[in-house]
Structure 1
Amino acid sequence: MTGKTLVHPDGRTVTLLDSGTDDQGDYLLVQHTIVKQGPMNGPHWHPVLQETFTVQEGLMRFVINGEETIIEQGGQARILPTQIHQFCNVSTDRLVALHEIRPPGQHWNMFELVHKLECEGKLNNKGIPSNPLWLGAAWRVMDGYLAGPPRILQTAVLGGLARLADLLKYRV
């Protein structure tokens, strides 16, 4: 599967560069190429995952636990477990960034699901699945929680939708 590229309708891509295990454990390495300015996700956090972004081209804005920073070419941002984070493309042109996820969890499945839903026109203008069952399926593979709503509420509501989506075979 290494080398697989997901091409979104707006031209952005996610390419699986590598995955495996090294002396630091299991990892996933992807490259994002983003062609439009703006947010790449909403504020969220992961209980276990650590993410490291290396900007190869352009500028990327991060808000991590309320602190904003701009990373330019060659710079890195590291997000530790439980840190609330969001990132945006603030480049005048395209953004190219390496994204390392440790452990990888379901992240590649998340990228594939978002790609599928977007290509099929099943996301609203904010990139959120319109169908609640697809929302549950997406929540399951994000390996984390949205900032704001209590974790227990997300687990009950979105986790319930995820279980129902699973039963009804809502998958990539």
Structure 2
Amino acid sequence: MEVPDRPLSFVPAKKGDIITIGPMKLRVLEDGSNTDNRLSSVELTIPPRVRGPPPHWHEMHDETFLVTKGTLRFHVPGKPDIDAKTGDYIVVPIKSPHTFSNPTDEETIFFNTLTPAFYINYFKLLGQFVEGGEMTPEANQKAMAYYATIPVAEP
């Protein structure tokens, strides 16, 4: 069997495309172009006391979260919150309701994978929707509607 000659993708520290969404910063590490859109990944930095998106679930992709600094609070409507700390890992399968935030006075950083990779475009679109402004639930839901992401009402 012949082994295909495919180059590795290398993203040096502090490099990668940056997407700003309100106060949050995403560093795109893989946009799917090197994985035939099977996988994308970002590093997300959330300042202190910042909420993430409204509660939602995804019809078409799985996510993983590896906290590399601080605390990332996961909220699942109707369940106790989970405070994931440095080194903790969360898997969010398709159709699993969730949201996240940084409830602390310290910056939070996490590594996030998305499979398939198309969801990276949600971040790009949301960044355009809130360019220079505030990240609102309305902007989030508008962007989510393009990427098979369904809002979840709180009980």
Give TM-score, length-normalised by structure 1: 0.68
Q: Would the alpha carbon gap of residues 118 and 66 (structure 1) be closer, same or farther in structure 2, given more than 3 Å must change?
A: same
* Residue matched to 1:57: 69
Cα distance, 1:36–1:92 mapped onto 2, change above 3 Å: closer
Find out whether 1:114 has 2:126 as its counterpart. Answer: yes
Larger RCO (CA under 8 A, 6+ residues apart)? 2
1:39 shift after superposition: 1.8
Q: Identical aligned pairs, as a percentage?
A: 21
Q: 1:8 Cα shift? A: 4.3
State the Cα deviation string for residues 41-94 of structure 1 (Å, max 9, x = none). Answer: 111011221110000001011123633211000111111111111111123211
Aligned pair 1:99/2:99, yes or no? Answer: no
Asked whether 1:69 is paired with 2:74, we answer: no
**1:27 match:** 39
- Relative distance call for 1:135 and 1:39 in structure 2 (3 A) is closer
Matching residue of 1:44:
56
Aligned partners of 1:110 and 1:93: how far apart in 2?
26
Contact kept in structure 2, 1:62 and 1:69, CA below 8 Å: yes
Q: Is the 8 A contact 1:9 1:119 kept in 2?
A: yes
Of 145, 148, 151, 1:140 maps to: 145
Question: 2:8 is matched with which residue?
Answer: none
Could you tell me which runs of 5 or more consecutive residues in structure 1 were left unpaired when the two chains were aligned. Answer: 149-172
Counterpart contact for 2:17–2:27, Cα < 8 Å: yes
* Structure-2 separation of matches of 1:78 and 1:135: 22
Q: 1:8 to 1:63 in 2, by over 3 A?
A: closer
Whether the 8 Å contact between 2:141 and 2:151 is mirrored in structure 1 is no
Structure 1 residue 9 displacement after superposition:
5.2
Shift in CA distance, 141/51, structure 1 to aligned 2, threshold 3 Å? same
- Residues in 1 aligned to 2:51 and 2:26: alpha-carbon distance in whole angstroms: 16
Structure with higher helix content: 1
